[in-house]
Structure 1
């Protein structure tokens, strides 16, 4: 794809992201204008437009809505690039970021906090930290099970991921079944379906930092990801140590997903469908797929969060339901296609 067309598409997506983020900040029980939103945002970064804005509006925009919108963009971008990377690593177009049981592990951690008060000494961070610890535990168990005689194959990783995911899901279901606290059970179910309601400035910098670090790692290694699409023999011929490279990328991506899931819960389909949509427009070169996936994922989840907040207002629908309703039809359509180009091969 020509550089000029790529730059036009990149500019359009960036403008689209700014527009949907502005709309997301405006949406709520208290109506706001775009001018008010941007006045406050510019004022916070030191650009004084000379117009006064009420304290109540400043609190609503800066302390409540802005962190949530930023978290939606961060989570969407993180899941999208993670899905793109995992699909290249396992050379499977239906792989997603939760393939190693990260979300199931995180669900156990969150369930323990909500139902039995585990890690209560951590205060407001108990839920996020517990979810991340158990997400990390799932990764460690999967790699431990997959490693045989000093070697770890992708097939063993996938099978171990499925097994560990089923075990953690069973534990979560058992805890829910044994609990008599209806409100707590509803809270767990709401978290498991994804929610950005807990977004605060103090807890979005960690996923933001993780996103930046992993994005840079993936972008630096885009040639290796491209080579994997051509098959193992071609990648080996190009001098790639397949096992070490795959493990390195899978660990990096899994840690990013673990950080994201710990805060937002399990939000499905973003990492599955966004890379496919991006490849339709920019091709399979990961130099383009990664940045465009990040932008498209951010836009998609910000829009999904807007819908989640208004569709049954004043209540809030779990965002995972919205992403599933949007993602499932696309996935079915993709399956019905006779051919789907995936790098140098077809899936």
Structure 2
């Protein structure tokens, strides 16, 4: 009887936590729509949603309705999907590589995705047969492959030394692909294209619309679900790949599925909003501090915190300088760089 009561109590707490997380996410989305260059009343936002979703028929100014529905709501939703996806990708890479500094940005995956996206849009790679997201995916996978090969060539094996080699190789790979991106822009883009691409590369949600929502949300949800199905395997990887194999984990298949999912998430998000750094690095550590290292809790917590964090960062990017929108990557870097330094100093003995 006591075990049944304890089990029901645990289920109730999980349901309550999920309810609070959904309410917090809804509040963040509402704030992302209400707060901006021009403040809009929350009641107006709710009336626009009622008109569009339920056909309520409230009389509203067309300008306000357009700003809310076509600009701010799509921006907030894509920010949430991007934050959740990048945070979960950071969890995966930190677990698989057993390195506190691993994330899509540090390991060069974001830089590779940027190069692939720019090669398709500016240099015309694929002669129009490749989509922006697919080009970014190819670049992300290629970047991670080069980083892995470089780390192996440098003698990276198991343990802390191997993990440190992977991070160093990732830094080198990121610089390589950033240089390739700059070369493509300098060679193939005109002045207007170059200005727009450079702003986009620093992270911009200004151009996202509903078609981007219909791509970003399914990719983020699918990626998080795939990772969530491998929570026990990720827990096993905390003891190393050999220990995971001894526990019955199909190491190569799981690594391919999880790294492929992380690369796909990163590629799709980068193709929409540019290379936003530090989300995949900082958020997993913050979530781990709150809920512990078990991935059954860490993955949903990271997804929720990443979504809320990037919505709030987007709000700051629109209001911190009146009349000007900052690249969202600037905001995340201002928060993430000090956190990166703190993680580096605290974890230096383990790298």
Q: Same fold (TM over 0.5)?
A: yes
Output the CA distance in 2 between the equivalents of 1:29 and 1:339: 42
The one of 314, 319, 343 aligned to 2:328: 319
Residue correspondences, number: 336
Equivalence for 2:23: 15
Q: Which moved more, 1:161-170 or 1:35-44?
A: 161-170
- Distance in 2 (alpha carbons) for counterparts of 1:137 and 1:233: 26
Indicate which of 95, 110, 115 corresponds to 2:102: 95
CA distance in structure 2 between the partners assigned to 1:157 and 1:141 by the alignment: 11
Secondary structure of 1:45's counterpart equals helix
How far off is 1:299 after superposition?
0.3
1:271 aligns with 280
**In the alignment, which of 215, 220, 227 is matched to residue 218 of structure 1?**
227
How far, CA to CA, are the matches of 2:45 and 2:125 in structure 1?
38
Aligned to 1:53: 60
Is 2:199 the partner of 1:190?
A: yes
Distance change >3 Å, CA 4–CA 230, structure 1 → 2: farther
1:34, 1:46 → 2: CA distance? 17
What does the per-residue CA deviation read over 1:174-196, in whole Å, with 9 as the maximum and x for residues that have no partner?
34555784443332221111111
Tell me the TM-score normalized by structure 2.
0.82
Q: Are the counterparts in 1 of residues 279 and 332 from structure 2 also a CA contact under 8 Å?
A: yes
Structure 1 residues 282 and 300, CA, compared in 2 at 3 Å: closer, same or farther? same
Deviation at 1:235, TM superposition (A): 1.7
Asked whether the equivalents of residues 137 and 263 of structure 2 are also in contact (C-alpha less than 8 Å), the reply is no
Cα distance in 1 for residues equivalent to 2:346 and 2:147: 33
Q: 1:3-32: per-residue Cα shift (whole Å, max 9, x none)?
A: 666555544443232222112112234431
Q: Tell me the residue number matched to 2:6.
A: none
Q: Secondary structure at the match of 2:54?
A: coil
Query: Relative to 1, partners in 2 of residues 1:338 and 1:95: Cα closer, same or farther, differing over 3 Å?
Result: closer
- Equivalent residue number for residue 43 of structure 1: 51
**Conserved? CA contact 2:147–2:169, under 8 Å:** yes
Partner of residue 229, structure 1: 238
Q: 2: CA distance between counterparts of 1:119 and 1:200? A: 25
User: For 2:338 and 2:136, how far apart are their aligned partners in 1?
Assistant: 30
Summarize the Cα distance change of 1:111–1:318 in structure 2 as closer, same or farther, 3 Å threshold: same
What's the offset of the Cα at 1:133?
4.4
2:127 pairs with 1:118: no
Tell me the C-alpha RMSD between the 2 structures: 3.4
> Which sits farther off after the overlay, 199-208 or 2-11?
2-11
Compared CA separation, residues 324 and 100, structure 1 to 2 (3 A) = closer
